[in-house]
């Protein structure tokens, strides 16, 4: 019964995110699942929901995460012609975005190391 309660709690937060998303879609388009994750994070951060109340079911999701990537992989295979037609644009986009993420991550890590050194 504990697993069902954890599932109901996670699905309730997700459904609330979808509900909020349906109201704000005219202002800004944010998927309900993203709003649900932000809402769950805030509820956990402010200890409205205790980690123990969702731990077992969330561990199950994390342990079986690979299963959730199967539909995306199948979709990529179905779109293979589109990918082949735009291969150079995709490769440039991937290389550029990877370089930007690495650069920004490096800057943030350096700032954090400097802040940590100042504290000590």
Regarding pTM above 0.75, the answer is: no
Question: Mind giving me the DSSP string for 45-57?
Answer: HTTSS-GGGTHHH
**DSSP string covering 75-120:** HHHHTHHHHHHTHHHHHHHHHHHHHHHHHHHHHHHHHHHHHHHHH-
Query: What single-letter DSSP state applies at residue 69?
Result: G
| pLDDT at site 71 | 86
Q: To the nearest 10°, the Cα dihedral for 83, 84, 85, 89? A: 70
Structure tokens at 28: 């800004």
Residue-wise pLDDT for 14-65, tens only, equals 999 999 999 998 888 899 999 999 999 999 999 999 999 999 999 998 899 8
Same domain, 7 and 56: yes
Tens of pLDDT along 61-90? Answer: 889 988 988 888 888 888 889 889 999 999
Residue at a domain's end among 18, 37, 63: 63
Mark whether 46 and 94 lie in a shared domain.
Answer: no
Both 6 and 48 in one domain: the answer is: yes
Domain span including residue 90: 69-120
What the block records as the tokens of 72 is: 């995306």
59 and 76 together in one domain: no
């Amino acid at each position: 019964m504990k697993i069902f309660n954890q599932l109901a709690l996670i699905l309730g937060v997700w459904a609330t995110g979808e509900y909020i998303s349906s109201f704000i879609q005219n202002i800004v388009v944010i998927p309900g699942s993203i709003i649900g994750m932000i809402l769950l994070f805030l509820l956990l951060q402010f200890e409205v929901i205790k980690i123990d109340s969702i731990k077992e079911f969330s561990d199950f999701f994390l342990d079986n995460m690979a299963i959730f990537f199967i539909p995306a992989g199948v979709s990529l295979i179905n779109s293979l012609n589109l990918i082949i037609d735009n291969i150079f644009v995709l490769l440039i986009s991937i290389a550029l975005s990877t370089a930007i993420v690495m650069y920004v991550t490096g800057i943030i890590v350096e700032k954090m190391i400097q802040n940590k050194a100042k504290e000590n």
